[in-house]
Structure 1
């Protein structure tokens, strides 16, 4: 799989990046049960209590959270035909439905809490100015460690079990004692957030203002045979409706330059019920397709690779032989319908944080 970069001119969104990851590292920081390995040592996190891993497994957040709801029978939006026709005429980013496996999710009981130097990608009051847990042996999205060397999105995502919080930071870079970071969004995993999420008109580590992690599917879920939540998807900026969002999103961007028939941020697309799932080439692809029928996919950010999965670096199951980046390439925009989206909100940039 070759790397792909898409430039966004909107503050808070830079490059969407995917690439072939380095070989999986042996670590026990991951969100799943792992046997101790000879590489474990000081600073490594060993999950010894199977119950302690439950917070790391998806689905995340309370069952009534929007991304955890079954929308297989939800009404179709009145603009569905127009939106789907618009997308069909332009296609997915990269010209096909493809899967990005570069997103890392770290899950830890203990980690040093580190303060960071805010970059120009940090916005107030949207972002949280607080210390971030940084587990030993972890990695950023698309990187082998904590240094952002490839000028990608470099998300740093950590589930901190003791506080039951999810930390998601965009454009992080850690090298020695230097820690620079963009927008940090801290989420309470036990909280059922209101419709306005962390705040109306507010961004997060993703353009739509949504949490990233609950929308990522991982190898453990797919190997188990079921994904029980909606999936994160992204589109090039010229295929996203300008300055418009719908629930569950709370934010949009001016970089999105699509017209009135383009899908807005937060839109949920559902794979049609009669799609021939059995025609897909792998069992893993069929698991993903069934989730797209039951929970759909939510437009969360701008970029070039349609679907986002979690890297298998810290999971028990591995993607090799389970699911490939092009296993869903036959699925077209015309195979989807737009679930009723409700009110269209115009983004103004006036973030008002939710208490």
Structure 2
């Protein structure tokens, strides 16, 4: 569950949240992020997770229909991998694997779509906007899941079949690693 409190500039993210009979909520974990500061999560310590395995906020990394349909996604995105390394790269604060294979990506690793990737003219406006963002801002390994899976905020305007079909044409070879400084390992 993601909740933005606009007046306080706070983002609350809960993992596995369930409503209680008394109107309250239970969750397996929660994190508070400050949206009015570069110190996004001032109380986070190395090793802390959040609703995201990497300890990063989920909301800022979501592909949002309103942005993509306007032709501009002005931020990095989040993505998942099926196997990650027991390590993380800041701003991530947590790893989610026991595998120490140095060939696996750590949480927080940033990749960018290569500048020379030629975006097909036939792609939808939304896909083009997402790929432009991936060339400009890149994306972070945020959690374990399907390989190269981008997360998006729900919206009835997404044409999921077309979007998935177009994004599947972009492969791992089309990306380059751009951030690995400060690698934290056990």
Superposed pair shares fold, TM > 0.5: yes
1:240 and 2:79 correspond? no
1:309 to 138, 148, 152: 152
Aligned to 1:166: 11
Aligned to 1:272: 114
Give the structure, 1 or 2, with the largest relative contact order (CA under 8 Å, sep 6 or more).
Answer: 1
Secondary structure (helix, strand or coil) at the match of 1:304 reads: coil
Q: Highest Rg: 1 or 2? A: 1
Which segments of 5 or more consecutive residues in structure 2 lack a partner in the other structure?
Answer: none
1:187 and 2:26 correspond? no
TM-fit CA distance, 1:281: 2.6
| Maintained 8 Å contact 1:282/1:322 | no
TM-fit CA distance, 1:309: 0.6
Closer/same/farther in 2, CA of residues 196 and 260 from structure 1, 3 Å limit: farther
1:224 to 47, 70, 92: 70
TM-fit CA distance, 1:320: 3.3
| Maintained 8 Å contact 1:272/1:337 | yes
Aligned residue runs from structure 1 range 202-213, under 5 A: 202-213=48-59
Q: Distance in 1 between matches of 2:117 and 2:138?
A: 13
TM-fit CA distance, 1:198: 2.3
1:252 and 2:95 correspond? yes
1:270-321 CA-partner distances (Å, limit 9, x unpaired): 10001011356322111111100000010011112611011016xxxx2138
Closer/same/farther in 2, CA of residues 330 and 261 from structure 1, 3 Å limit: same
1:212-250 CA-partner distances (Å, limit 9, x unpaired): 1000111100111101110010011xx311x21112211
2:131 to 289, 301, 305: 289
TM-score scaled to structure 2, two decimals?
0.89
Count of residue pairs the alignment pairs up: 184
RMSD over aligned Cα, in angstroms? 2.3
Aligned to 2:60: 214
Q: Distance in 2 between matches of 1:209 and 1:321?
A: 27
Which segments of 5 or more consecutive residues in structure 1 lack a partner in the other structure?
Answer: 1-155, 348-355
2:142 to 300, 304, 311: 300
Secondary structure (helix, strand or coil) at the match of 2:96 reads: coil
Q: Distance in 1 between matches of 2:101 and 2:61?
A: 26
Closer/same/farther in 2, CA of residues 198 and 289 from structure 1, 3 Å limit: same
Aligned to 1:336: 175
Q: Distance in 2 between matches of 1:197 and 1:339?
A: 27
